Amino acid sequence: MPRRKNNSSSAEYDHKNGSAEKLKKKKKKKAPKDKNAPKRPPTAFVSYSMERKVDLEKQHPNIKMSDILKIASQEWKGFSDEIKKAHIERATKEMEIYNQAMAEYKKTDNYREFQKSMEVSDPAVKGGQKERKRKLNEENAPRKRQIRLSDSDLADAMMTAGTSQIRIFSDDFLMYNKEQEKELRHLRRNLKVSTEEENTLQKLIADAEARYNAIRAEIRGEGDSLESTERTVERWEAVLKKALENISLPTDLKQLLSDDFDAFTATLTEYQTGKGHELQQVIAFIRDAVANVSFD
């Protein structure tokens, strides 16, 4: 009777071998770095974190990188827009310089040789693998924009920190990013309220200007009416003077009629209350002269 072969050890070997092969496939190959390319500058927050890292390590030599980032994150969150502006402007200027340098570098032979070496060393970039890689980049693009931190930024930020702290750094930074989003929503709400208040103020200003213009128009109308009344009074005064200049009047009244018509009318009022025959006769002469006057 033929001896039965024991296939258990062979199956176990194949299983382990297959698992090892899967692990090899899952292990991500580190992308080669172009040593001749310009160094990408850090973001405003990362730059500030590195500045604080130097100070905090002097004060606390055994401090962890994760604690440094937590402290920097809290400090950055509490900064005013003016304080952040200086860091952001510096980071923006450095990024502009980097983009210009990168654009110039892409024209060099070193860049072209590096791209060729990438194609030779990584055949997966061709064909379907290249298409899948493009789709993967598109899917990860929103998350990359949200984190706003490139691989080179991570490398610069971690500096001498161990690889075990990369996960902690990412978690802390995501937490910081969520806090920034919360602050952004708060700022948007404040902006909406400020916009509504501004619209209300603009409406009040427009109403006040309309009222002001209406009052000015009313004042101009009253001024025109006053001028018209004054001209009418002057015209009637001239008519009365002409009617009374030929009648017999006492010397004082004659002088007042020529110099001050208001004083003349006031004196006539006193004459009316007088009981003298001459005064009553003067009033009668004036009344007869005025009765035939036309003011048209």
Q: Is the pLDDT at 220 greater than 50, yes or no?
A: yes
Alpha-helical runs (H) found in 106-165: 109-121, 127-147, 151-158
The residue-averaged pLDDT of 285-291 equals 76
Q: What is the pTM of this model?
A: 0.35
Six-digit token string for 296:
């048209």
pLDDT at residue 66, rounded to an integer: 86
pLDDT at residue 150, rounded to an integer: 47
CB 48 within 8 A of CB 76: yes
Q: Is the pLDDT at 33 greater than 70, yes or no?
A: yes
Q: Is the pLDDT at 260 greater than 90, yes or no?
A: no
- Better-predicted residue by pLDDT, 282 or 274: 282
The residue-averaged pLDDT of 28-44 equals 79
Alpha-helical runs (H) found in 148-248: 151-158, 166-244
Q: Is the pLDDT at 11 greater than 60, yes or no?
A: no
Dihedral of CA atoms 84, 87, 88, 91 in degrees, nearest 10, equals -170
Q: What is the DSSP letter of 43?
A: P
Q: Is the pLDDT at 265 greater than 60, yes or no?
A: yes
Q: Which positions ≥6 away from 108 have C-beta within 8 Å?
A: 36
pLDDT at residue 204, rounded to an integer: 85
pLDDT at residue 13, rounded to an integer: 44
Q: Which positions ≥6 away from 221 have C-beta within 8 Å?
A: none
